[in-house]
Amino acid sequence: MYFLNIIKPKGITSFDLIRKLRKRLNIKQIGHSGTLDPLASGVMQVGVGSATKLLDYLNSDKEYIADICLGYESTTYDDEGEKIFIKKPEVSISILHNALNSFLGESMQIPPKYSAIKFNGKKLCDIARKNQDIDIASFSRKIEIYAIEILDFNNFDKVKIKVNCKKGTYIRSLAHDLGMKLGCGAYLTDLIRTKAGNFLYESANNLDDEKYNLINPLDVLMFHKYELEDDEFKKIVNGNFISPRQAINFDKILLTNNNKLVSFAVLSDNLIKPKKIFKDSCK
């Protein structure tokens, strides 16, 4: 049971990455947190073995480096779609800065029509490709952008930005919405995810590396840890509740034994109650 910090290359899907890892590691139980489009590259949080059950508990805030082209719109909001000329951009650095700052904080964002969001069991992108009508505005969702920094601007039509945001933010939609706000259109030309929670690009493995750094879940799950004594360990692995030996002010707890994660538990009615038990750590 461990996590991997893997760079998804540009040009393959997130599922392709997992399929390649299954084959290379000869392990079926592998999953990821946070899909990246084929156009995008960067950090993927990958769980192997029982760690797949913990992916939802990882810090999921994201950081991206995005390249944006002004003056056009794209049917997919990125470089893969049909481009439509809107107008020659006449944008100063101050106008660009003010426009980007208007997206800071919480807001409602309409996702791209060509996305993996499900509707009646079908992906929106598959529905869109069949030219079926979609009320895309009905899929708007609350997002939060913590910070946006302009990294480069050619004073005409090329912009590079860094975005720190909450999980679920579509950077393609941000590029499109920026174009709408500037009145000249815009679309995403390249995207790199440089951070996912505490998984960093600088410490990530490439898919073709000879060896991968195996990440202990205890090193990246940001919850209170409680070391089990022998009698407590026996009770927990059998699914029983225990009373904490000391006061605990956290509602979610990682139960450990010899630096191995035994259970993800919750504190309720002053009892520690196991929610997920990891048998492979109990041998």
Q: Is 56 a catalytic residue?
A: no
Kindly report, residue by residue over 111-127, the tens digit of the pLDDT.
Answer: 876 555 554 555 555 55
How many C-beta atoms lie closer than 10 Å to residue 65's C-beta? 18
pLDDT band at 175, cuts 50/70/90? very high
The candidate with the shortest Cα–Cα distance to 217, out of 26, 46, 23, is 46
- From the candidates 37, 152, 157, 208, which is the catalytic residue? 37
- Where in the sequence is the domain holding 29, given as residue range(s)? 2-58+197-216
Q: Would the pLDDT of 134 be above 70?
A: no
Kindly report, residue by residue over 10-39, the tens digit of the pLDDT.
Answer: 999 999 999 999 999 999 999 998 889 888
Q: What is the mean pLDDT of the chain?
A: 88
Helices (H), the chain: 14-25, 93-101, 124-129, 171-182, 217-220, 230-237
Domains: count for the chain: 3
How many C-beta atoms lie closer than 10 Å to residue 76's C-beta? 21
Residue 182's CATH number: 3.30.2350.10
Q: Are 272 and 262 in contact (CB under 8 A)?
A: no
The helix (H) or strand (E) run that includes residue 283 is none
- Those residues whose C-beta lies under 8 Å from the C-beta of residue 109, and which sit 6 or more positions away, are 140, 141, 142, 143, 169, 170, 173, 174, 177
Residue 250's CATH number: 2.30.130.10
Looking at the structure, tell me whether residues 108 and 156 fall in a common domain: yes
More confident residue, 281 or 273: 273
More confident residue, 138 or 197: 197
Looking at the structure, tell me whether residues 31 and 67 fall in a common domain: no
Q: Are 162 and 42 in contact (CB under 8 A)?
A: no
- What is the per-residue pLDDT for 244? 87
- What is the per-residue pLDDT for 132? 54
